[in-house]
Chains A and B, each alone.
Chain A
Amino acid sequence: MTGSATPLSPEVVSRSGNTMVLSMGPQHPSTHGVLQIVLEIESENVVKADPEIGYLHTGIEKTAEGLFWTQAQTVMERMDYLAPSSNALCYALAVERLLGIGDRIPERAQIIRVLHMELTRIASHCVWLGTHGIDLGAISVFFYCFDLRENILDLQESAGGARMHPNYVRVGGLNGDLPDGQLTHLDALIEKFPGRMRELRGLLQANPIFQDRTIDVGVLTPQEALQWNVTGPSLRASGIAYDVRKAFPYTGYETYEFDVPTRDEGDAYARFLVRLDEMEQSMRIVEQARKRLGTPGPVMIDDPKVALPPKETIALSMEALIHHFKLISEGFRVPPGDVYQSIESPRGELAYYIVSNGENRPYRVRTRPPSMYNLQALKGIAPGNLIADLVVMIGSLDPVFGEVDR
C-alpha cells in the first residue's frame, strides 16, 4: 500500500526529534467522556501528557447565580451525573448551614439521606467498574455491574421520580417519604448484593490479565497524592485514610459503623481493590440505615419559610397558601455569609463554597470538583508509561466530565 493512506492532519500529528505529538480524544472511547489528552510520545512511551478539558463546560456555577436557592439545586445535580444525589446533599447541607437550620433536620430524613448516599456510591462504583473492565477487555463485568446499578436506579426512580437526577434531597429534608414497597425492593437488593460482589471479585480480582494490566501502573505516592490534591478512593489507595465521613462527619455518619478501606501500593490495582471494599462498606451502612427506618416520622423540616406546606393543607389554610405562593414565586432568602461544606462523594471530597448576600439567589457557588483534581494527577503519573497503560490510569482515577468541566 503506497500513497493510498490519507495522511493525518498536521494539527493532530507533529514530530520533532524522537518524540511525536499525538492527540488522544476527545472522542476516544476509553476517555470516559469528552477528554482530550495531548500526548508527547517516544514510540509507545508517554513522555508528557497534557489533558485538555472544558469540552463539557456548561457554566453551571454561572447559571446557579440566576436561580433561586432551591432551583439551583437542580443544576447542581447535573454535575456528577453518576452520583447526582451526593451533589444535591452537599449543596443542601451548605444552604442549611447558611440558614442555620442544620440541626433541625428530622431524624428520618437524615437516615434516608445516608441510605441514598451509600446506594448512589454503589451505583457510581458499578459504572466505574463496568467501564474500567471494558477498557481492559473484560466485557462481561459491565453487564453484571449495570444489572446491579439498575436495581439501585429503580429505587431512586420510585423515591424521587427520575432515574438519573432524582432531585430527592432538598434543602430542609427530602422531597417526600420513601414510597410503599421501597423497603421490600431494598431488602431484595441487600440480599442480592453479597453474591453479586463475589461474582464481580471472581471475574477480576484474581484474573491474571487484569492484574498484569493494573499492578504497578500509575503509582501515586502519598506525597504526590497530596501535591496533586487527590482525594477519595484514589488517595486512600495511597495509604492515607482521609475520608470526609470520618474526618468531618455530616448527616449523622458518626453514628454508623464502617471501616475506611486503604491500600499501601498506590497503583491502579490498589485503587480497584479500595473501591470494591468501599462498595461492601457502603452496603454495611445501607443495612444499618435499613434497620433504623422502622419508625415513621416527618422527612421535611417544620418551617414554612423554607419547606413547602403539605399539598392537602393548601386548600384549607390561608397561611399555607401564602407560604406556598411565596416559596414558589420568589423563593426564600438566606442570611448573608459564606460557608465551605464538604462531603465524601464517590470520587472524593466534594465541596461547595457558597457566598450569600442575603438575597433569594446564591451570590456565588464555587464547587470543589473532586474529579478535576484527581484527573489532574494524570500529568504526574502518565510520563514513563505506555499509551495502553494511560487508558488504565484514566479508568482508575474515575473522572466524571460533567463535574470536571461543570
Chain B
Amino acid sequence: MPSTQIPPIAGSAIDPTSLRPPIDDAEIERVAPATLRARLEELKNGGYAMLLDLGAVDYLQRRPRFDLVYHLLKLQPKKATVAEVGSPARLRVLCGVDESEFVPSVMDLWKSADWAEREIFDLFGIVFKGHADLRRIQMPHDWEGHPLRKDYPMRGPARERSPRPSFANKSNVVAGTPPTGRTFEALQEEVKRARES
C-alpha cells in the first residue's frame, strides 16, 4: 500500500458533485468566495436560522482545490410543535476555495460556526478571515500539516518506530512526510495576516 493514497478520479470527473442530479432532499447552490459572505447573510435573514453543518472536501487535481460545504436549515427561532416544524427546507451551499485564498468567517452570523471553522482550518489548512480565535482544535497545537488533505499520508508523518525490529522490517507500510510542511510558526503568521488584512 503506498503511503500517500490519492484515490483515482473516475474518468474526467474531478468534481463528482457536478455529475449527478441531486439525490437527497437538499437544495444545492454554488457560490464564489467573493460573494459567499453576502449570500449567507441574505440566507440567514431569509429564515435559515441554523447552520446545520460546515465541512470541506479536497479535490486535489481541481482548481479551486477545496469545496466548503455549508448545510443550512430553515427553522424559526421560536417554540414550535411537530406540525409547525413540518419538513423544514435544507440548503447546501458549495463554495470553491483555493489554497492561498482566505474565506470570510460566518462566526458572527451563527455562533456554531466557531468550532466548525476551526476544524476545517486544522484539518484542511483553510484560513477563515475574521474568526476571533482560529487555532487547531483536533490535532495538537504544534502539529505540522493538515491530515484531511488528500496529499497527506494515510499513516501520518514518518517517525521512529518502536524498537521491535522483527515487526518493523516486515512492515509493508511506509509512512511519508506530509508535503504541505507548513510549520507551526508559518501557520501562525498566516492567521495573523488574515486577521490584519
- Is the CB of B36 closer than 8 A to any CB of chain A? no
Q: Decide: A340 and B85 in contact? CB cutoff 8 A.
A: no
Docked complex Cα distance between A260 and B85 (Å): 12
Q: How far is the CB of B88 from chain A (nearest CB, A)?
A: 6
Q: How far is the CB of B9 from chain A (nearest CB, A)?
A: 6
Docked complex Cα distance between A366 and B70 (Å): 12
Q: Decide: B16 and A340 in contact? CB cutoff 8 A.
A: no
Docked complex Cα distance between A339 and B1 (Å): 28
Binds B, one of A54-62, A179-187, A207-215, A297-305: A54-62
Most buried by B among A223, A242, A338: A338
Chain A interface SS verdict (over half): mixed
Contacting residue for B16 out of A355, A366, A373, CB 8 A: A355
Contacts of B137 in A (CB 8 A): 53-54
Docked complex Cα distance between A59 and B75 (Å): 32
Given contacts A223-B77, A361-B7, contact A229 B55 (CB under 8 A): no
Place the interface of chain B in its size category: 35 or more
Contacts of B84 in A (CB 8 A): 241
Docked complex Cα distance between A339 and B23 (Å): 7
Q: Decide: A405 and B138 in contact? CB cutoff 8 A.
A: yes
- Is the CB of B114 closer than 8 A to any CB of chain A? yes
Q: Decide: B10 and A364 in contact? CB cutoff 8 A.
A: no
Q: Contact string, A260-280, partner B, CB cutoff 8 A, digits 1/0? A: 101010000000000000000
Contacting residue for A247 out of B10, B58, B86, B138, CB 8 A: B86
- Is the CB of A390 closer than 8 A to any CB of chain B? no
Most buried by B among A223, A229, A239, A335: A229
Binds A, one of B44-52, B161-169, B183-191: B44-52
Contacts of B87 in A (CB 8 A): 247-248
Docked complex Cα distance between A406 and B58 (Å): 19
Contacts of A341 in B (CB 8 A): 24
Given contacts A53-B138, A240-B75, A248-B25, contact A359 B10 (CB under 8 A): yes
Docked complex Cα distance between A335 and B20 (Å): 9
Contacts of A246 in B (CB 8 A): 82, 85
- Is the CB of A118 closer than 8 A to any CB of chain B? no
- Is the CB of A358 closer than 8 A to any CB of chain B? yes
Given contacts A337-B17, A357-B10, A368-B71, contact A376 B112 (CB under 8 A): yes
Chain A residue with Cβ nearest B5? A66
- Is the CB of A228 closer than 8 A to any CB of chain B? yes
Q: Decide: A227 and B138 in contact? CB cutoff 8 A.
A: no
- Is the CB of B111 closer than 8 A to any CB of chain A? yes
Which A356-380 residues have a C-beta within 8 angstroms of B?
356-359, 361, 363-364, 366, 368, 372-373, 376, 379-380
Q: How far is the CB of A304 from chain B (nearest CB, A)?
A: 22
Docked complex Cα distance between A356 and B92 (Å): 17
Given contacts A54-B139, A357-B9, contact A340 B17 (CB under 8 A): no
7 contacts between A and B (CB under 8 A): A54-B137, A248-B87, A336-B20, A340-B24, A340-B90, A357-B13, A376-B114
- 8 closest residue pairs by CB, A with B: A358-B10, A229-B112, A239-B79, A336-B16, A366-B55, A337-B20, A368-B53, A57-B138
Q: A62-B147, A223-B78, A366-B55 are in contact. List 19 more A-B contacts (CB 8 A).
A: A54-B137, A54-B138, A226-B50, A226-B75, A227-B49, A227-B77, A238-B79, A241-B85, A246-B82, A248-B25, A248-B90, A336-B19, A337-B19, A351-B71, A358-B11, A358-B16, A363-B7, A376-B112, A376-B115
